[in-house]
Structure 1
Amino acid sequence: MNGPAASGGLPRFMSRCRMLRSRRGSVAVEWALGALVFAALLLTGMELGRYYFMAQSLQNLVGEVIRAAVVNTALGDGAEDCTTPKSTYAPLTPMINTADLLICVQRTRVGGTVTINVRGTIPYAFLTPILNGTSRTLSETSQYSYPGS
């Protein structure tokens, strides 16, 4: 027999075409790509949750310091006090790194009104690779006024 069939050229060519049309392994590749996108969305969601948790923790800490300043009249009396609140009230929020925390209290008296101002700031850096390099400064300010002597 002479020709392509005798030399095995046609059947070999057809087997290559069959191999190129084969769908074996395509499910694994599609699943891997889908899992990568899902993992990226999951990590980003967790990171945003951590961000909002830290913002809420800072807000709660500022609220606790305001409450303490109302009771403790020596806290922030006159000049701005940035040391006492940090050492005393920062352990109430374990997720906040106290080394980077700045929380200040200032009490002023004008006429018969006492005003307490509390300011808290902390730097925040995202950890996920998608948001890597993005950093923000979380800040919270609160003011409370009441009649006093």
Structure 2
Amino acid sequence: MTDRVVVGGALYDRGRLLAARRSAPPELAGRWELPGGKVEPGESAEQALVRELREELGVETEVLERIPGEWPLKPGYVLQVWTARLVSGEVSPLEDHDALRWLSPPEISQVDWLDQDRPAVALAARRLASGEADRGGPKPRGSGC
């Protein structure tokens, strides 16, 4: 049986990475993650990520590339992470999160990331620090997170 894919988005804007603080379930609440969610039947990972970021954050995004690797979650689920850039909208914690923060490379280690997100965050941070991550896009208004 194949594991179900959960996609996470390393969302970049202006040299920063977006971190989302979980509000549920209780065992994950208060810790930070890359936003995203489950790939639905008939959906590609890229389509799922665009949909999930729209639902969770209220923004439109462009998926750029997959970060190499796959990380186990609860039994039957694996995490795959894609880089993405903000196309339009203002990030807002609409579902599953109670706070959002745009983090510059030196700030990325200052939040308590979920264990399963840490390897992908490290790779995303390396891309950000090297300048290969952020491809531009509009400045999010009101994102003083």
TM-score, structure 2 as length reference: 0.26
Structure with higher Rg: it is: 1
Structure number with higher helix proportion: 1
Between Structure 1 and Structure 2, which shows a larger proportion of strand residues?
2
